[in-house]
Amino acid sequence: MKYLLISLFVSLWFNAAIGQQDVLIKNGTLLTITDGVKEETDILLSNGKIKSIGKDLAAANARVIDAEGLFVMPGIVDAHSHIAIDAVNEATNPVTAEVFVGDAIDPYDIAMYRALAGGVTISHAMHGSANAIGGQCETLKHRWGELNPKSFVMEGAPRTIKFALGENPMRVHGEGKDIAPRTRMGIEQEFRRSFEGAKRYKQAWADHQSGKTKKPPAYSLRMQTLADILDGKIIIHCHSYRADEILMLMNVLSDFGVDKICFQHVNEGFKIAPELAEFGAHASVFSDWWAYKFEVYYSTAYNAAILTKNGVITSINSDDAGLIRHLYHEAAKTQRYGSLSDNEALRLITLNPAIQLGIDDRVGSLEVNKEADVAIFKNHPLSVYATPQMTIVDGVVRFDINEDMDDMRMEINPEAMLPAFYEQSEGHEDKCMQGVNSEHHHHAHSHHQH
Amino acid sequence: MKIISSALIKWSMVTIWCLLMVPLVAQVDYNQVPNPSNCYFFDNVFIHESPGKAPYLGDLTIRNGLIEQVSRNHKAPFDAIKVKVDSMHMYAGFVDVLSHAGLKKEEKEGKVEVKFPGMPPDEVAGITPYKLAADAYDGSSASLEALRAAGFTTSQISLESGMMPGKAAIINTSGNKNPVIANQQNLFSQFKGAGRYYPSTIIAVIAKWKDLYNQAKHHQSYAESYTKNSNGMERPDPSKSTAALYDVVNNESTVFFKASKKLNVYRAIELRNDLGLNMVLTSVPYVGDMADYLAQEKASIALSINTPDTSKISIDSTRLAEDEEYAGMLKRQQEHMLAHQQNAAKLEKANIKFGFSSAGSELAKMQGNILTMIEHGLSPEAAHKALSTYPAEMLGIQKLVGTIEKGKLGQVIITDKPYFKEKAKVRMVFTGQELFEMAGEEAKAKGPASDIAGTWSFMVESPDGNQKGVFEITESSKGNYTIVIVPDDDPSDTETIKDVKPKGNKVSFSFVMSEEGFTVPIDIETTFEDKSFAGSLKFGDFGSFPIKGSLLKKPE
């Protein structure tokens, strides 16, 4: 009667989510990231925080998890994903700073549970790359099992926004709609025009508020959002491949006094690693994914290592509901290609992406008072034999390999009988270009177009 | 063919001419056959005055569209038309929170050249809050008939294209020329993108909502100061759309927001909270597991009338025995089916007042669905409230409709059985000063298609006098009839209609009548009994007239 167990499990699990029981993980090998490796050490999670780390901890009424022989690491953070949102690309305009994927969170996307099963506790749900300035993104905590979309928002995480360089915006707007930007030059002008407009918008409102003008300027959420970027309130995450364009955007940002930027993909980042480091730009890359379109041929699996060694805060991301399930393998590849240390490799999927999202004071390492986001592995997470056992978000067990049932769906259509896989995996097209009308990229749709 | 006399055609032409001359010539509605009285008396009927109140056998008088008297026993006024409703059940007509009924088909204004898909005109973007449902009203729409048949005498109707299709109108469902019963004009909105134009996705629709709202807010306050003292001030220049949102900003107009997906319920409430809107959610689906949240948010809810269709679950018993995963999925699916059926009951339990919106619902299944909800824990009283007093409150018309009370609008329905207890049919609807009778169960249930072959007399009651003639009906093949219409005043001018297939005892057919260069489509809908028939004849756009007749002889 497995299905009875499922119902029982689901109800227990909700109880767990509501009444926060302390969790004491005993005798694990702690991969703390910031304080080395601690063997046979306990970690106590209480009220959603890491309460203490040490030997022979005890706590009354805590759920005790025996982690002897297991590895305990901070929950994995994915700085580039598109899971658990209903809309990715508002591809109708080259600049759509006002839209916000956090308005369309889908808590029932099974991809979130699968990410948890890969030890991932936080994903950065991003707008797609159809526009030079896309929409604002949302940092999600994988609190699988909650119903309200708002429950997944990582409260207080800084605002972020998607920018995009190169072929995608050129193809969608130039080629697809016969409007600017048609070229890489045109994309630069989209940024300059937008920032210049935002400066004037800010000035116009300042003039109105000081009484200099009586009539208020036309309100624009788009201009207001762009002005917030100029004011340093929003971190830019920019889809990018080519070195020349990356340098171009850094120049544009310098001209407008903007310094918070993380380049995404950055396949040619290795060519300009010192320049990125000097600017203070971050890089979030694939371990070894390229050649899915022309601008992504000049690539190397050493990218993450070269960037790291040059002092660029670097992370490895998934951009994909499949890849997000094994980011620990992706990080391990930097040991084969670049000989990064265990800690350097693990930082790529924990503390570094947390820095890029502006949440490193809260997550990304096992430290007392940080949030209780923890992944427990059988075998070292950088080993090919690694298997995630349990994933904990804010002190609540959201994935447990021993209670991983066949059917973990949250929502079920009572009128249609479909296997969970087909019902809730929204095709396998490239999510970065999700929602972009196919007429806009008649170029070999089978290619990956990140 | 003279099913309608050429005099009437001439009269129609005059009417057309009159219509063309609207600005110059005052219209007189010659279509209207005056009733001998505008007082109706319903005798000896079980009156369910209001939800929760025990029904009693009593009488009701409606005069000039208002309830004049309701009591256990009173005399029929001398001038009253007596309506035979003996021992049937009377309820205040149901109130529909939102529908798209009674409207002309929305026409797209030609092809608009849009150079920048990111900056389309408001119309293309689906932003037309300035459009009024009242202006697009079409009383002859069959959708109104469907509402009446389901027992709705009041509905808030709205246009339906785009994210902000327009302002709704609260009407009676009579199909009358002046159906609006309240001045309130609420905004209808939904998370509907404009395809390849901005806003295309739900995230852009939400952003655009915030944009429009804030623009309206700034424009309005500027316009106010300008009105007070325009010296040294530029003229306000709101767009048509932002100006139409002032009442929304002031919360004088409530936003009726379609949330037919569960996640959109959360999203709409989020938008409401962000902007401080007055909002009622419509076409709301299964939300039983978020009832506490809805209660805490004080959400106003109009549920969809649909319930899931159990017949859609088919069980493969061989697989069920062998395949554990299949068995598990089926079990969960059945649990969800049950939860969906308990949806309304869960809202009641959480003390959430809710109504129903007919938009997107299958009206023909409505009473069955209501009974399903009641079987799954909804109290009959709450079900009754959800169709009467609660929606009336949501629409701010509780003083006009929702209960059977002296002084309220004479909008009542008569059902053959207690509506919230057993399978019942709406037999009569009184709304907009008009009585509508629905064909009874027995009439419909007369089994297979009636044999209508024979010679029948007919009479059309037109404003131009009665037109008479004969239908010669022959069965050309099994269940397939040919009707020859032979008018009395010129028996040579016949019209032949082939391939008429009765549905039960319902017979309908259409043809086009040509006369003196005019063509008018004629649609006839009738119900045949053994020796007589009755129904209506729709004469193009000019109106419908009663048609009736009787059997002269069966074929040899």
Q: Domain limits of chain A? A: 1-74+364-410+417-426, 76-362
Give the residue on B whose Cα is nearest the Cα of A108. Answer: B263
Q: Cβ B117–A219 below 8 Å, yes or no?
A: no
Residue range B439-456: mean pLDDT, rounded: 66
* Whole-number average pLDDT of chain B: 89
Among partner residues A219, A409, A413, which is closest to B211 by beta-carbon distance?
A219
Q: Do A101 and B222 touch (CB under 8 A)?
A: no
Lowest-confidence pick of A414-418, B100-104, B328-332:
A414-418
Tens of pLDDT along A196-237? 999 999 999 999 999 999 999 999 999 999 999 999 999 999
Query: Which pLDDT value is given to residue B314?
Result: 79
Nearest chain B residue to A93 by CA: give it: B118
Contact A221 B210 (CB under 8 A): yes
Identify all chain B residues contacting A103, using CB atoms and an 8 Å cutoff.
202-203, 206-207, 267, 270
- pLDDT confidence band for B5 (50 / 70 / 90): low
Angle of helix B324-341 relative to helix B366-375, nearest 10 degrees?
100
Q: Tens digits of per-residue pLDDT, A62-73?
A: 999 999 999 999
Question: Is the minimum CB–CB distance between B201 and chain A shorter than 8 Å?
Answer: yes
- For residues B515 and B362, the model is more confident at B362
Determine, for residues A90 and B119 on separate chains, whether the beta-carbon distance falls below 8 Å: no
Q: A43, A28 in Cβ contact below 8 A?
A: yes
The pLDDT score that the predictor gives to residue B51 is: 97
Q: Helix, strand or coil for residue B339?
A: helix
pLDDT of amino acid B113:
86
CB-nearest partner of A103 from B203, B327, B339: B203
Question: At residue B26, does pLDDT exceed 60?
Answer: no
| CA–CA dist B315, B320 (Å, integer) | 8
CATH number of the domain to which B540 belongs: 2.40.128.120
Nearest residue to A19 (alpha-carbon basis) of A62, A74, A50: A62
Q: Is residue B148 part of a domain?
A: no
3-class DSSP assignment, residue B429:
strand
pLDDT (tens digit per residue) in A132-185:
999 999 999 999 999 999 999 999 999 999 999 999 999 999 999 999 999 999
Question: B135-185, pLDDT tens digit by residue?
Answer: 999 999 999 999 999 999 999 999 999 999 999 999 999 999 999 999 999
* Residue in B234, B263, B337 nearest the CB of A149: B263
pLDDT of residue B519: 74
Closest partner residue to B207 (CB to CB) among A86, A100, A106 is: A100
Query: Which chain A residues touch B312 with a CB distance below 8 Å?
Result: 415-416
Judged by average pLDDT, the poorest of B26-35, B115-124, B383-392 is B26-35
Record: contact B335-A92, CB cut-off 8 A: no
Nearest to A147 among B202, B214, B289 (CB): B289
Rounded average pLDDT over B412-435: 96
DSSP code string of A226-249 = HHHHHTT-EEEEEEE--HHHHHHH
What pLDDT digit, counting tens, does each position of B455-499 carry? 999 988 876 678 889 999 988 888 888 999 998 888 888 888 988
Pairwise CA distance, residues B129 & B205, whole Å:
14
Least CB–CB distance from B117: residue in A177, A219, A419: A177
Count of A–B CB contacts within 8 Å?
154
B319 has a chain A CB within 8 A of its CB: no
- Residues A251-310: tens digit of each pLDDT: 999 999 999 999 999 999 999 999 999 999 999 999 999 999 999 999 999 999 999 999
CB atoms within 10 A of CB A251: 11
Closest C-alpha among B485, B445, B441 to residue B467: B485
The answer on pLDDT for B114 being more than 60 is yes
Among B116, B199, B225, select the one facing A179 at the smallest CB separation. Answer: B116
Name which of A206, A255, A199, A266 is nearest A227 in CA terms. Answer: A199
pLDDT, residue A418, reads: 65
pLDDT of the residue at B223: 95
Q: Is B234 on the interface with A (CB under 8 A)?
A: yes
Q: Does B474 touch chain A (CB under 8 A)?
A: no
Buried residues in A187-201 as b, exposed as e (16+ CB within 10 A): bbbbbeebbebbeeb
Residue B435 lies in a domain: no
Q: Which of A3, A148, A214 sits opposite B331 (nearest CB)?
A: A3
Across chain A, mean pLDDT equals 91
First to last CA, chain A: 44
Which residue of A99, A153, A209, A213 is the best one to mutate when testing the B interface, meaning the one whose CB has the most B CBs within 10 A? A99
Strand ranges in A241-382 using DSSP code E only, listed in sequence order = 261-265, 282-285, 314-316, 374-378
**Span B196-232, pLDDT tens digits:** 999 999 999 999 999 999 999 999 999 999 999 999 9
In this structure, is residue B73 part of a structural domain? Answer: no
Cβ contact, residue pair B119, A104, below 8 Å: no
B48-82 residue pLDDT tens: 999 999 999 999 999 999 999 999 999 999 999 99
Q: Could you tell me if B121 lies within 8 Å of chain A, comparing CB atoms?
A: no
- Rounded to the nearest angstrom, the minimum Cα separation between B349 and chain A is 19
Confidence of residue A328 (pLDDT cuts 50, 70, 90): very high
Chain A CB contacts of B324 below 8 Å: 2, 406
**Cα gap B199→B112, rounded to integer Å:** 16
What is the pLDDT, as a whole number, of residue B1?
46
Which chain B residues in 336-395 lie under 8 Å from chain A, judged by CB atoms?
336-337, 339-340
Q: Is residue B384 pLDDT above 80, yes or no?
A: yes
Q: Is the pLDDT of residue B554 over 90?
A: no
Q: Note whether A219 contacts B336, CB cutoff 8 Å.
A: no
Confidence band, pLDDT 50/70/90 cuts, at residue B309: confident
pLDDT score of B467: 84
Contact A3 B336 (CB under 8 A): no
What does the pLDDT read at residue A422?
53
- Those residues whose C-beta lies under 8 Å from the C-beta of residue A300, and which sit 6 or more positions away, are A270, A306, A337
- pLDDT over threshold 60, residue B441: no
Does residue B19 surpass a pLDDT of 60? no
Q: State the total domains in chain B.
A: 1
**Paired residues of B218 in beta bridges:** none
State what percent of residues in chain A have pLDDT above 90: 85
Distance, CA of B65 to CA of B40 (rounded, Å):
9
Neighbours of B150 (CB within 10 A): 23
User: Rounded to whole angstroms, what are the CA distances from A184 to A171, A241, A291, A439, B241?
Assistant: 11, 12, 19, 21, 36
- Considering the domain boundaries, does residue B465 fall inside one? yes
3-state secondary structure of B487: strand
Query: pLDDT higher for A8 or B43?
Result: B43
Assign domain A76-362 one CATH number from 3.20.20.70, 3.20.20.140, 3.20.20.60, 3.40.47.10.
Answer: 3.20.20.140
The beta-carbon neighbor of B336 closest among A106, A414, A435 is A414
Using pLDDT thresholds of 50, 70 and 90, give the confidence band for residue A1: very low
d(CA A266, CA A242): 7
**Residue B379 included in any domain:** no
Strands A314-316 and A374-378: unpaired
Q: What band does B520 get if pLDDT is binned at 50, 70 and 90?
A: confident
pLDDT computed for residue B21 by the predictor: 42
What's the pLDDT tens digit per position in A425-438? 544 455 667 766 54
Predicted-complex ipTM score: 0.93
Nearest CA in chain B to A90: B201
Instruction: Walk across the sheet containing B187-190 and list its strands.
Output: B166-167, B187-190, B255-258, B279-284, B300-304, B354-357
Instruction: Calculate how close chain B gets to A261, using CA atoms only, in Å.
Output: 23
Give the pLDDT score at A420: 54
In a domain, B506, yes or no: yes
CB-CB neighbors (< 8 A) of A100 in chain B: 203, 206-207
Letter for the amino acid at B190?
Q
Tell whether B336 is covered by a domain. Answer: no
* Residue B516 counted as domain residue: yes
Instruction: Give the chain A residue nearest B316 (alpha carbons).
Output: A417
Checking if the pLDDT of A396 tops 70, the result is: yes
Domain that holds residue B517: 6-32+444-553
pLDDT per residue over B324-337, tens digit each? 888 888 899 999 99
Second CATH level (architecture) for the domain A1-74+364-410+417-426: Roll (2.30)
In whole angstroms, give the CA distance from residue B3 to residue B467: 6
Instruction: Decide the pairing of beta strands B169-172 and B180-182.
Output: antiparallel
